[in-house]
Structure 1
Amino acid sequence: MTGPDRTPPPGDPARDGDAGAAGRFADFGPPRRVDGGLKARSTRGAIGVSWWSRRFLEVLESFALGTRLTRGRSYARKGQVLRLDVTPGRVEATVQGSRAEPYRVGIELPVFPAALWERVERDLAAQAFFSARLLAGDLPAELEEVFADAGAPLFPSGVAELTQRCSCPDFAVPCKHLAATFYLLAEAFDADPFQLLHWRGRGRAELLDRLRALRAGATDPAGATDPAGTPEPSGPDTGAPDAAFAGPTPDVEPVPAAGAARVLAGLPAIPLDEAVDRFWLPPVPLPDRPPTLATGPELLLRQLGAPAPAIGGPGLLERLRRAYRSFGRS
């Protein structure tokens, strides 16, 4: 596992790639050019467009890792990442650096236990809103709230939850190769949001099959079915309404509503002709979105580093920092 940053200071021959310099950084230099690498689709600005990929990168960028993230974005955009594989609990990548042999990168995050996944699946299946969105290939923002209510935040809350490894000689955590992998991983989440859930232990096919089965079980009549397809009665006929219309079966735990269902539950039905003038307005105020990560007002300054001396250098950085703090208090 990587450790403290021991990158040589500017001007050190080991940092500048001097072939005669001794030590582990003697052969450092620009990364080798790669053909056919995995390039980030974003060519400038922020990486990640969906709420889930941006939420994931908010966590990473909140660690205030400085220029390593800048170099990692550059690696991701140049196509230095050769391979990226997501499996339950582990992400593996191969990143081409300045040496001939690419570096091996691994990022581990604990998977959720089966019992927790079963609870989350019951919560999701209990509301058609979640099932419809997930079956359509979308992750609604309210999904984060469902995991939080189950006691299992979907995103890592701190760097200690991640186990990061890279075969490069840099002791920084994360190094630029790990940072490049994080950015490519965020874009993989953009392309397929179920990759995030797969990393947490539940693949797309398995999750959707479970939701379909749970939704079907909630609407099927009670009782077994014989080979001819005729339902067998589960007890004497008492004249009670059919079980399919009698509400949930006794062994199904009540699930608290989440998202829009929590707000709309219990509202009386209003005929459409009496509400035409308010058709596009919500019947009650919409719920707040799940909380976002709280960061300091000067986070961007810490990520970018000191400006060039020609425009003020560290002095300008400190003046901007004081200004941001003042704006944040106002």
Structure 2
Amino acid sequence: MTVDDNTNDSVVEANRLLKDIQSFEFVFLLFLMKSILGIINDLSQALQKDDQEIANAMALVNTCKEQLLYMRNDEGFDLLVDKVLSFCVHHIEVINMDETYVAHGRLHRNTHKKTNRHRYKVELFFVVIDSYLIELNDRFNETITELLICLVSLIPNDSFAAFDKEKLLRLAQLYPQDFTKQDLLALEDQLDIYIHYMRSRSDFSQLQSISDLAKKMVEKRLHQVFQYVYLLIELALVLPVATASVERAFSAMNIIKSSLRNRMGDQWLNDSLVVYIEKQVFSCIDNETIMTRFKV
């Protein structure tokens, strides 16, 4: 293939892409995604913040579901189409929603008979919105939502203002393999002593996150005193709250367990993932300290 052939192919591909982005369907999908991302943006931001945002995030999940359901009706579709038509009127060929839909690059006789309205409303508009609703319902089902709401009671900011004994007991019940019936009884008594102690100590009054609380408890050796509460804190810290955290973990897994390391065991993989994902923490530790610790 000559240089001229490569150039011609590039020109053809560029013209095809230009034609695609100047189509009504491309603009419709662009405006549809803009509307949906506008609805879920606040939720996405809240899920990527510290654990004190969990309560707000849970409220935003329900709000997002309600807004997506509201957008899904006839009025929402017509409003979106009006925005698209307004944008296209001077630059892009406008279509009639009641005419027969013709796929890009196909002749009328080779297409199934359906209107543009059916194509854009049923096959695009409804399908895209429904996929987001399914995703929200799967990631935040009733059990997960209850789990996260209960977890809020562990957050120490504002002198443990969010503390709720009943919710923490319920949180423990959601982990039956970690808390036996006897453990739950001990936890119930321990929670009263724990919250009284924490609110009476000035060095715990400025904590902002569950991770801060865990560090301070270990520093003061209180993780041995309030062992059942600390177990709840440990479970809360390993809970993948944010969607972004889960996605980062899977991305990291693809990097760590590559084709050259396909025999890596689960424990070695877990250890490597922790170091990779939390590299900002481990970057503060010099190699000499690590070698001394493990006597390499």
TM superposition score normalised by structure 2: 0.22
More strand as a share of residues = 1
TM superposition score normalised by structure 1: 0.20
Q: Which structure ranks higher in relative contact order (CA pairs < 8 Å, sequence separation ≥ 6)?
A: 1
More helix as a share of residues = 2
